[in-house]
Structure 1
């Protein structure tokens, strides 16, 4: 993977930017794919553009490989083949000017969150941070920016970073030129759309909006219009706006579709930044919380909204590859990869069941192959309301509570920051950036001696990543490298035969020494000295493994090191009756209580006392 700081070509760093104010610059090339229209399924377009792109672009001369016309955008790549698009010739030869490539992009659900940008035969730049959450894909599009240089007849290619699981969508490609002496206008990078999906009547959903301001001359003003939408933030100080986040709340009071608009103004912007807000509401029985989970009926009503929520039902069976092969009311022929839940333990119709994808520790504890006694038990599950087996389902389950089982205490929270070096004795998290979620490696279950390393989701705010004790691995220097120990005090080691990890409380005879090479962007190559295998996150199976070769779906982990995580406490007069103020770690005030705020770390100020808390 190319590091921005080590590029030998003239391509510079790729910076995440989303919609925003205008710049004092010339537009050399622009394509909005407005001629791509009329497709049957905008989220899975099937009209191939290869060899005839002039029919789908406003400017002639574009070419593509495995490109498909979407609805006002385009998709590139298939499930097993990479895709790419190449611009017509563009003049990038002025050595005194600044040239910028901008485009909006998102990844297919579960696909790689990186793209490659190449000018002519220069070294590619890898652009990171694409959202790869579930469809609809249009709201997932975010704008990226890459500074480039070239010749008078340069061509720019945007391509999949991997062949398998490399599908991506593109829109609004633009190449601009800022001449020497020109100054950039004030600018705010922000999402163009915030989509809440389906939310129950009288329930509340919260989305975080992240903005990045540059060259601002004054504070920003934030306002919201539209029934059902509110924002606790009304202004953002100029200095804080360089990297700020705040919550937008959707609280529908009646069944229907809702539309609104969030407007960011001031700061010297020539044009206001407008973010479209959308959501819809239906009557449901639950609230999606652990205390009042959604029912199986609610899952059907919410229709794969993509929201993460608690769901309750009865375990009634599993499906071997398809729902046509579902077995209900029996563990005969059960499979471990999934289970079916229903509103009643007596359910016999698969059409009334919700399939649940199982992985990691959740699979170990709940699957009917290894746990036949779980059949007909009530269970609460925390996961994403996403299609599974092409019907309403539950995927990416990370937490559960099973009937008759005492819930385990929540692991203690641990804060991490991106590592810049490896220090013996420190604790580190292995992290895969999934675009919309940070996935942290978790320790192999205490009852097991080997296995793949699965993940739990962490939350990152203001460069601080919040995980828990199971995500902390201790690196200790030894002859030839480092040992790696999980939070249960067990050494990780690798063997020649399998890609799984083994764990041992005693120092193993071999395979437990790891060489660690940390790149400047935080990516780590963690190699077993004895076997030559190195740690990769598999985007298909959603786990970490040690492979002897580069996996088609393999991604190197990022390393984050444990920070002190200590609370910040001020001493003052009795503050028990003073008003409460809640701020993000970036210093943006978001309200007077934690109610309605997304999970994360916040700073609470009351009188002369300041403390950091995690919601």
Structure 2
């Protein structure tokens, strides 16, 4: 009996040491390691490319075979990562999944992209930010059933749970459509996905979605909630001096957006700036019908996307909406910070002016730190053009800046900026 206790405690100590060192620990008394691989159904294509990307992470559950997924599952939301192949391994610090020692069968359920916090086996969906498509391309797998230590190679097959729309955009006279905005109105933005049975709830919020548009304006993409009706949904194309509106329900062949399905629209703007829209293909990402439509310009006011270039956040709004990525903020350059503290705010341009940051406010001459956000300039062209050491004339100029809203100098700030535009008085 003493020998058994000693063996148990030695195993436990080894487990704790492995955990502390950041390795992927194996619980004491565990069975055969699970050899996990994953593929994507259909074209085996994901929003960001033709295969898994290095660092892609899935959440994995293991439960007794035949039982419903629930709080008593043997393994709960364990993070597994890939180096870019179909093989997935436990992420650093995650516990290695092992089979039960008694040889009993188990089933696996998985999802992508991984979230650390999953409450009540419900995956929250938020499609308001389309800037990184892979971050919102929900995949789900429940095919891996009846595996055990004698059959350790688990092949999980993932399928897209949302719909996707891709647009190719061409203009007869304008080869580069840089700056064009593409908006889908009255689209579902938020919903919940049930990991237990793979069902999607009705949208809990609807609104306008700004598509991810390529830098040259030639393509645009959006991932959308599946819907049985396109009534009320519209595509808007916003150029500097013209606006176009296209009711999605106007195509008889396509009256719904189905899950796992990609809809490709080819948009051509002719000499009168009237876009001819061709629904080219639907892939599974399923071949489908094609149709043509002609869309006229409109004098209606275009939809508003808060945080877009046309409707940028104010500085006060930027403080409120921390955590949003790829948004525009408008304000005046009112100074800089001489160190990594908000209290180091300065307007003195005669001394050692920082090149790495600036202070942005809604009003010229603002000095109240509660109404100022720090902007991280990083490196590159934006830093070269905006910083006050090299460009003292920028002081009190109005500017739009695109970046991610996040903490900087322990305060609400703007980070990772990638675009800017001065606003002429």
Flag whether TM exceeds 0.5 (same fold): no
| Interval of TM-score (by shorter of Structure 1 and Structure 2) | 0.3 to 0.5
**TM-score, with normalisation over the residues of structure 2?**
0.41
Task: Please give the TM-score of this superposition, normalised by the length of structure 1.
Answer: 0.30
